[in-house]
Structure 1
């Protein structure tokens, strides 16, 4: 099993979070990681957010999964979802980075 950290106020996407709610949400996740890991004797944790339907978000409300992990549990890594992605050239990555920076400065 795993636990969910869920803000009480509704936000569908991470980008919709206010800075105050975002800080409180991630502070709560950080505070709980040690207690969750130790309480179930896990070796590690996977912490994840499915942000949007195509990413696997079923419930349209921001929530963070804290998933206890052990060696050979078969759960895979976050990198396992990246194996099907196309490889980008350095130029493509630079263009994308430029677009992200432009979008970020306009928000």
Structure 2
């Protein structure tokens, strides 16, 4: 529900802070997550972003390795057909 301009400003700030966090803790990268609405786990309004520093060999994986979506499209072409721009 966030206006596009505010979303752009939010993610410009997230980009800056993620770099600062990675540098501060000498992380090799980071996962950036946003829970959108209660069904996706957003329990605390307003919108907020999770920045999770990641390290080589930390045993974690990509977002795909920690998220499973029941009934999700198996390939990008199928997903593209499901998406409709307003």
**1:64 alignment counterpart:** 49
Range 44-53 or range 71-80, more displaced? 71-80
Offset of residue 86 of structure 1:
4.2
2-structure distance, mates of 1:51, 1:24: 17
How many residue pairs align between the two structures?
Answer: 84
1-structure distance, mates of 2:8, 2:59: 32
2-structure distance, mates of 1:40, 1:89: 36
Structure 1: runs of 5+ lacking an equivalent: 1-15
Structure 2: runs of 5+ lacking an equivalent: none
**1:38 alignment counterpart:** 23
Greater radius of gyration (CA): 1
Higher relative contact order (CA 8 A, sep 6+): 1
Offset of residue 69 of structure 1:
0.9
Range 47-56 or range 37-46, more displaced? 47-56
Residue 52 of structure 2 aligns to a residue in which SS? strand
**2:80 alignment counterpart:** 97
TM score, norm. by length of structure 1: 0.62
TM score, norm. by length of structure 2: 0.74
Q: In angstroms, what is the RMSD of aligned CA positions?
A: 2.5
